[in-house]
Amino acid sequence: MIFLLRGKIAEKPLGRVVIDVNGVGYGVTVPLSTYYRLGAVGEEAELRIHTSVKDTAIELFGFLSEDERAVFTLLIGVAGVGPRLATNILSNISPSEFVSAVSSGELARKKIPGIGPKLASRLVTELKDKISALGIAAEGPGEAGMLEDVVSALLNVGYKKAEIDERLSEIEEVCAGEPEMEYALRQTLRIMKKM
């Protein structure tokens, strides 16, 4: 089992990353929350890994934080939630937002692609008692969730990933502690127009 990878980023297609560890390239699927916080190709990266072993393949799923890996592990323990769906959930909601949504029973309101009302209800029912054992503080939408939403919106309106990466530190500053998506997006578009 692989639990940690540390090396240089060799490739970085959307939602995946290849980590070069002493000449061996490991392909790792990552949620967008991790993907957008990783450095550029050629930079060092350290990922916490979940190894998924199936009859036909061994897949690696990587996370920058232990909280993300813990939520991922909890999610794949629920019947009907595989590694891909768990990755999709973490691409759309931060671990603290997930904990808050499950604790309050409001997961269905988060409008996560692939999670309908029935599955949301089952996740809340099955995970409500287990979620507190993770030790993740529940909170509302925060900097990470806002940053992901803003970056996603920029990609949707036609900005290239490389353009966004150039201004990522400025975009992070705008998103830090900002509760209003509309305001954060307006400010970010001003930053992007300066290019």
Instruction: Please check whether residues 127 and 79 belong to one and the same domain.
Output: yes
User: Interhelix angle for 83-92 vs 66-76, to 10°?
Assistant: 130
Average pLDDT over residues 168-190: 79
pLDDT at 141: 45
181-189 contacts at long range (C-beta below 8 A, 24 or more positions apart): 181/146, 181/149, 181/150, 184/146, 184/149, 184/150, 185/150, 185/153, 188/150, 188/154, 189/154
What's 28's domain CATH number?
2.40.50.140
pLDDT at 4: 93
Is the pLDDT assigned to residue 113 strictly greater than 90? no
Identify the domain boundary among 33, 63, 93: 63
Instruction: Please check whether residues 84 and 57 belong to one and the same domain.
Output: no
- Selected residue with higher pLDDT from 7 and 103: 7
Do the Cβ atoms of 73 and 50 come closer than 8 Å?
yes
- Comparing CA positions, the residue from 4, 1, 145 lying closest to residue 62 is 4
- Selected residue with higher pLDDT from 23 and 157: 23
Count of other CB atoms within 10 angstroms of residue 148: 22
Instruction: Please check whether residues 161 and 102 belong to one and the same domain.
Output: no
- Structural domain of 106: 66-134
Count of other CB atoms within 10 angstroms of residue 49: 18
Instruction: Please check whether residues 159 and 103 belong to one and the same domain.
Output: no
Instruction: Please check whether residues 82 and 126 belong to one and the same domain.
Output: yes
Instruction: Please check whether residues 57 and 78 belong to one and the same domain.
Output: no
Which pTM does this prediction carry? 0.67
Q: Residues in the chain, how many? A: 195
